[in-house]
Amino acid sequence: MRYSTLLVLTLGSLAAAAPRDCAQKLKEQVSPPRGWTKVKPASAEHNINLRIGLPQANFAQLEKHLYEISDPFNERYGDHLSKEEVEALIAPHDESIQLVEEWLASHGISADDLTRSPAKDWVTIKVPVSLAEKMLDTEYHVWLHDESGDTMVRTTSYSLPEHLHEHIEVVQPTTMFGRFKGMKATYHYADTERPSVDLSQPWIPIPSAYNGEVNASCNASITPTCLKELYNGVGYTPSATNANKIGITAYLGQYANFEDFHNFTAMFVPDAASSSFEVVYIDGGQNNQTLSAAGLEADLDTQYAFGLTYPTPGTFYTTGGMPPYIPDDDTPTDTNEPYANWLDYILSDPSPPQTISTSYGDNEQTVPESYAKRVCEDLAQLGARGVSLLFASGDFGVGDGDANPETQTCYTNNGLNETKFIPGFPASCPYVTSVGATWYIPEETYFISGGGFSNYFSRPDYQAVAVPEYLSKLAPGTYEGLYNPYGRGIPDVSAQGQWFWVYYAGQLGQIGGTSAATPTFSGFVSLLNDARLAKKLPPLGFLNPLIYAAGAFAPKAFNDIVGGSNPGCGTEGFNATIGWDPVTGFGTPNFYNLKDIVLGDMDLLIGGLSL
C-alpha cells in the first residue's frame, strides 16, 4: 500500500490504542558494520518491505522428524513430510498471531495490508521509513559499502513493545548488512597455476575414476565428460525424468542465456544440444536474453548442473532485488534481500525440485544471528519435505572476502576489531550441504576452498565423531581463539572448482570457484535421486546424515583429499587430512559407489562394510 504523510498521521490518530503496555524495549542491536559508511538519514518516503518472523511453535519436533527421516540407520529413512505437515508443525501460536495483528492495527495497518507465509510464521508489510521508525523506535540511514559502492537503507538497532518480544523473533530489513554475493573465483586465472599436461600420455591413472583413468586433457580443461570420468559417472542415463527435477537459484541480475547454453551443450553435451530449461520469475526477477546481459554465475551453474543431468528437467529461478539501490530516487524501494523472496516462493511450492544448488552467500557475521537462525529453520523445512539443498562454502579459505589471503584482516563486526576466521552463510546452516573445491588431476585441495566453523550454529549430531576426530589431530593451541571449535564445521563435501569451460556472452572461456564445485556436486546428487525415484524409492532429501555415515563406514563413497590448506587471515588455514576436514569435507563423489549405497537400503553401511 502507499502512504502519504497526511494519511500516516491520520491513521495514527484514529487507530485504537494497543491493548497491552506499549513500552518499547530494545530487541536487537549491532555495531556499525566494518566496510560500511553511514551516509545520511533515509528518506521518510522510502518504502521498506518489513518481514516479521513469529516463533515457530513446534520447530523442535520438525527438527526431530528431519533427523529421523534423513538418518540411513533409522527405520523412518526417506519418510519425508508433506508441505501441509511441515506447515502444521511450524505454525505460530494463535496468541502470537493475534498480538502482532493488534500491534500492526495500532499503527493503522489492517489485515488486508499483510502478506503471510503459508504457515503464517512470516508477516510482510510494505511501509515507508517514517512509519517503520515509529513502529521500531529507531532511525534508518543510507549506508554505503565502501568496496563495491552498493547502498542500503538499514539501522543498527530496533525495539518492540515489551509484551511482543516473546511473540516476534526477528524483524528485517533492519540490522542485516549481508550482500549475498556469488561465489566465483574470477581472480584465479594465473597461467603459473596451470598444471603442465603431457598429452603424449593420453590418460591419467585414477583408480577411483571410471575404468580407472581420466583423459589427460581434463587436467586444465574441465567439461561435463571430464567430471563424469573423474567421479565414476560415465554411462548412467537418467530415466525418472517424469518425477525428478533439479533447480538452480540466481540473484543480483544474473541471467542464464539460452544461446550460451545451446552453444555449450552442442560442444560438450551433444545429446542435450536441443534441450532447454524452465525459467521461474520471482518477485520481479528477469532473464534478459541480450548476450551482453548474460551472467557468468548463471551460465556456469545452468550449463553444468543441467548438462550433467540431461535429460532431467531443470529449473532456473531468477529472483528480483539487486543492488545498488539508488538513494536519490523520488520513490525508492529497497530490495536488497532477494534470498528471502526466493525462500517465500519455494516454501509455497507444493512440488519443488528434489535437488537445488546455490552458489551464493556471504560472511556469516554480516547476517544477524537471529535472522540467520530463522533462515536456517526455513531451509530445514525443505529438507524435511525431501529437498537436497547444496550451498557453496565460499572462495576465500578461512578469510573474509579479500581475494588476497595475505592481506585479509578478518576483523569481527562486534566493534572490538578482533581477528577471527570468517565462516560463510548459508553454508554454515546445519540443515544444508556445504560444498568446497578441489583442483588438478589427481585431485588436490584448492586453496580458495571456504571452510571452518560456525559462530552461530553448534556442532550437529551427525558431526559428533568426524569433527572431534579432526580437531584431535591439530597441534595443541593451533589457531586458538580464531575459530569456534564447538561450531558446525564446513564444508561437508567438495568437487572440482577450476578451469571449467563455460560459454558466456557468446564467448568460450574458463572459470572456477566453489560456484563451479556446487552445481557439479548437485548434478551427481540429482543423478542419485533419479536412481532412487526410478526404483520407486523416495528422494534423498537432507543429505548430511547419509554423507557422514558413508564417510565413516564406506570410505570409497568419496575420494578423500589429503594435503594442502585454505589460507586466510594471515594464517595457513586448516589442513586437509584423512577423513573429514574443514577444507574439502569428506572429499569428492564416487557416483557408482554412492549409487550402490542409496539403492541398497543402506545395507552397505551396516556393520562398517567398505565398498
Q: What is the DSSP letter of 55?
A: P
Q: Is 378 helix (H, G, I), strand (E, B) or coil?
A: helix
Place of cell 494497543: 18
Going from the C-alpha of 87 to that of each of 54, 195, 222, 339, the distances in angstroms are 13, 51, 42, 20
CA distance 449 to 193: 16
Clarify whether 301 is annotated catalytic. yes
Place of cell 528422494: 539
H, E, C per residue of 230-263? HCCCCCCCCCCCCCCCEEEEECCCCECCHHHHHH
Long-range contacts of 200-204 (CB under 8 A, 24+ apart): 204/441, 204/442
Looking at 23-128, list the stretches that DSSP marks H as alpha helix, in order from N- to C-terminal side.
59-70, 83-90, 94-106
Per the annotation, where are the binding residues for Ca(2+)?
560-561, 579, 581
Beta bridge partners of 161: 24
Cell of 537: 524409492
CA quadruple 474, 478, 484, 488: dihedral, nearest 10? -30
Say which of 515, 522, 526, 565 is annotated catalytic.
Answer: 515
Alpha carbon of residue 30 to chain centroid: 23
Say which of 28, 71, 297, 530 is annotated catalytic.
Answer: 297
For residues 97 and 12, is the Cβ–Cβ distance under 8 A? no
Clarify whether 369 is annotated catalytic. no
Edge-to-edge strands, sheet with 181-182: 181-182, 360-363, 424-425
Going from the C-alpha of 391 to that of each of 111, 140, 355, 488, 521, the distances in angstroms are 36, 32, 11, 14, 10
Clarify whether 297 is annotated catalytic. yes
Cell of 406: 595475505
In terms of Cα–Cα distance, which of 398, 399, 396 is closest to 409?
399
CA quadruple 154, 159, 161, 164: dihedral, nearest 10? 80
Q: Under 8 Å CB-to-CB from 279, ≥6 apart: which residues?
A: 256, 287, 315, 316, 318
CA distance 54 to 110: 17
CA distance 158 to 138: 5
CA distance 150 to 252: 12
3-state helix, strand, coil in the chain (%, to 5): 30, 20, 45
Per the annotation, where are the binding residues?
560-561, 579, 581
Report the catalytic residues. 297, 301, 515
